[in-house]
Chains A and B, each alone.
Chain A
């Protein structure tokens, strides 16, 4: 596992709200897990309003990434290890 900035990522949504990111994940991905703010993944703490939805799609994790000046991005990051970690640590329901 490494920092998301080093692993590379695909941007699914940009400059979105936390609510838009949650709705996108719930609508577009069959496998969804929920975590609380501060959940650590890719060496970063997830910033957001609970419940924070993370998607799993194959060997990728879909997660929100918040920047103070640019709102929240929804990113897709390839990492089999973190897919396993999210399945183990996340909740099935909000």
Chain B
């Protein structure tokens, strides 16, 4: 089934760095208020954290398991207009690059964590990139994210 194109897909990495979840919920809230459909993808650990954090689905209305999300992007079953990818490790850079190959629309990559600057140098794809060495404090990243949302 082809999704409508008023959708923003947020792709989360490993949940070990605390700012990711705070920023994902913040971005979802902003996008919900703007009238956009929001779909959040992550591995099972990420999705369980979101379900527990938002039991009434105030912020996170739709979720999809990461492997299924990638497969649906590749097959064309999922066609968001914007993707926001969170990356704080080597795997995150691999996922962001893969998304770029599978998705032609607007791509925002949020590179964060202690190695943010080194990781950002490895990201050689056309995208909007937000980089900040944030681990526990999401303040600076939230401000940068707000500027592009």
Decide yes or no whether B64 CB sits under 8 A from chain A.
no
Interface bracket on A: 20 to 34
Choice from A36, A37, A68, A71 contacting B66 with Cβ under 8 Å: A68
Contact of B97 with A37 in the complex, beta carbons under 8 Å:
yes
Interface residue ranges of B1-50 to A (CB < 8 Å)? 13-16, 42-43, 45-46
Are B67 and A44 neighbours in the complex by a CB distance under 8 Å?
yes
Q: SS class of chain B's interface: helix, strand, loop or mixed? A: helix
Instruction: Decide if A67 is an interface residue (CB 8 Å cutoff).
Output: yes
Q: Are B94 and A72 within 8 A (Cβ)?
A: yes
The reply on A18 being an interface residue by CB < 8 A is yes
A18: B residues at CB distance < 8 A: 90, 93-94
**Closest-CB distance, A18 to chain B (whole angstroms):** 5
Is A58 close to B, CB under 8 A?
Answer: no
Asked whether A49 lies within 8 Å of B93 as measured between CB atoms, the reply is yes
Cβ contacts under 8 Å, A47 to chain B:
70, 91, 94-95, 98
Are A49 and B74 in contact, with the CB atoms below 8 A? no
Assembly CA distance A36 to B102 (angstroms): 10
Report which A residues bind B (CB closer than 8 A): 17-18, 36-38, 40, 44-50, 66-72
